[in-house]
Amino acid sequence: MNSSEIIISLLGDSGKKQWTRTEILEIISEQLRIEKMDAAHKFDAVNNRYDYFEKTSEDSQKYRFSKSGNLKYNSLKKLKESDSNFENAVETFIKNYYWTEFLECILKEKEYIEIDYQKIWIGFPYLKDLLEKDPDKALSKFNKAIQKISVPADNEKWPSISIFNTGDILQVEDVKTEHIGQFIEIEGRVVAQNLTQPKITNAAFKCVRCGNVMYLPQVEGKFIEPFACDSDVCGRKGPFTLLQKPESDYIDAQNIILESIRGGQVNIKAALNGCLCMPPWERDAKVVHTCGIVRAWQKIGTLGKSPYFEWVVDVNSIKIVDDNNVEPPTEDEIKQFEAWAKNPH
C-alpha cells in the first residue's frame, strides 16, 4: 500500500468516525513507530493531495472521512478480507496435500516447494482459475500467503511455489502470441546456456538529496528506476544511488535455449532463477519440461528498439525427462548457440 492507503487504513481501523488532529498524529506515530512531526508531514501530504478527509464543520478541529474517503477505506477493507480468505485457503491446501513436504522445505531451507498442478485442480480450484487469468498475480499471492502459515520451526525462510505437470504440454514451435502472459508447460531440448549471473529482484535506491531509501521490485526484461523520491518531505526527481546488498536483494539467474525435439532451427529462451540454475543443462542434449509464464522481450539493435520481440519463458519449474530418441546438436548449431551464450541479451 502507498502512504495515502496506509493512513486511511490506520484511521479507519481505529474504530472512530472522527478524529482531532492530535488523535490522528498519535495513531499514525504509534502504528508506524515514527515521530509525531513525521506523522504530521505524512498526514498533511495526504490531506493536501487527496480529498479523502473533511472537517466536521468550518470552525471544527475534527476530521472525518469524506465520501471518497469512505469509498477508499471500504475498498481497502474488502481487499484485506479477500487476502485473508485467500491466505486461509492456501493454508488449508498445504495442510491437506503438502504438509510433510512443506515442513521439510522449511527445516532444510529449500527454496521451492513443488506443487502438482493436478492437485491444484482438485484441491484449490480458485488458484487454478487465477493461474489461467493472471499467473503473475496467482504466484505472487500464493507466495505471500504461504509466508503467513505458522509452523513449529525457528527458521525464517519459507519456500516459494514451483508448479509442474499442467497436463497440457506444448512443443517449442507451438508457442504463439496468444500465449503471452499465460502459464504453460513446454517440452524442448536444451542446446545452450549462459553462465549463472546475479540478478536484482528488489532494488534499493537512496535519494542523494534527503537520504530516503526506496525499494522497487524488479520484473523480467527491464530495470525499473525511481521517477521521484517517495518521501512526503522531499519529492525530488533524483539523483538516486543504487544500493548493493544487504539493502538490495539478488538471486542467481541463468538463461538456457530450448530447441524443438522435432528438429530444425526453432528455439526459445528460458529464464531460470535461484536453485533452478543447475549447469550444465545442455550436456547430452537433455530434454526438459518447463512450466512458466511466457514473456515477449523487445529486441534492441544498433538502431534502437525493434518492433520485433523474442520469446522468453519465465521458468517456475523445470524437470528432465527421458531422452533416448533425440540426436545431439550439430557442429553448426553448437557454434550458433555458443555465440548466443557470449551475448545472451
Judgement on whether residues 180 and 294 belong to the same structural domain of the protein: yes
Judgement on whether residues 176 and 282 belong to the same structural domain of the protein: yes
Contact criterion met (CB below 8 Å) for 296 and 312: yes
CA-angle at 171, arms to 308 and 142, nearest 5°: 85
pLDDT reported for residue 49: 85
- Residue with grid cell 479507519, as numbered in its chain: 12
Q: How far is the C-alpha of 271 from the C-alpha of 278, rounded, in Å?
A: 12
Judgement on whether residues 116 and 189 belong to the same structural domain of the protein: no
Q: How far is the C-alpha of 212 from the C-alpha of 208, rounded, in Å?
A: 8
pLDDT bucket at 233, cuts 50 / 70 / 90: confident
Displacement of CA 89 from its chain's centroid (Å) = 20
Count up the domains in the chain and report the number. Answer: 4
Neighbours of 265 (CB within 10 A): 9
pLDDT reported for residue 181: 93
pLDDT digits (tens, 9 = 90+) for 53-92: 998 887 777 899 999 999 999 888 888 777 788 999 999 9
- Top pLDDT among 282 and 22 is at 22
Percentage above 90 pLDDT, the chain:
43
pLDDT reported for residue 286: 81
Contact criterion met (CB below 8 Å) for 111 and 159: yes
pLDDT reported for residue 124: 92
pLDDT reported for residue 323: 54
Instruction: With H, G, I as helix, E, B as strand and everything else as coil, classify residue 33.
Output: coil
pLDDT reported for residue 78: 82
Q: Dig out the grid coordinates for 24 from the structure.
A: 490522528
Kindly tell me if the per-residue pLDDT of 280 is higher than 90. Answer: no
Range with the lowest mean pLDDT among 135-139, 144-148, 247-251, 297-301? Answer: 297-301
Count of positions (residues) in the chain: 345
The CATH number of residue 54's host domain is 1.10.10
pLDDT digits (tens, 9 = 90+) for 127-153: 999 999 999 999 999 999 998 888 876
Parallel/antiparallel/unpaired status of strands 267-273 and 249-259: antiparallel
The CATH number of residue 94's host domain is 3.30.1640.10
pLDDT bucket at 334, cuts 50 / 70 / 90: low
Residue 229 structural domain: 198-250
In a domain, 72, yes or no: no
Q: How far is the C-alpha of 268 from the C-alpha of 172, rounded, in Å?
A: 7
Judgement on whether residues 189 and 202 belong to the same structural domain of the protein: no
Judgement on whether residues 263 and 331 belong to the same structural domain of the protein: yes
Kindly tell me if the per-residue pLDDT of 325 is higher than 50. Answer: no
CA 290 to each of CA 58, 194, 227, 241: distance values in angstroms, whole numbers, following the listed order: 63, 17, 36, 37
Judgement on whether residues 202 and 179 belong to the same structural domain of the protein: no
In a domain, 79, yes or no: no
pLDDT reported for residue 220: 67
Q: Dig out the grid coordinates for 215 from the structure.
A: 525499494
pLDDT reported for residue 279: 61
- Top pLDDT among 308 and 168 is at 168
Instruction: With H, G, I as helix, E, B as strand and everything else as coil, classify residue 268.
Output: strand
Average pLDDT over residues 44-53: 88
Average pLDDT over residues 83-106: 91
Kindly tell me if the per-residue pLDDT of 260 is higher than 60. Answer: yes
Q: How far is the C-alpha of 239 from the C-alpha of 225, rounded, in Å?
A: 11
Average pLDDT over residues 92-116: 93
Displacement of CA 304 from its chain's centroid (Å) = 28
Judgement on whether residues 157 and 263 belong to the same structural domain of the protein: no
- Top pLDDT among 180 and 303 is at 180
Average pLDDT over residues 8-23: 91
Per-chain mean pLDDT for the chain? 86
Judgement on whether residues 278 and 327 belong to the same structural domain of the protein: yes
Judgement on whether residues 338 and 238 belong to the same structural domain of the protein: no
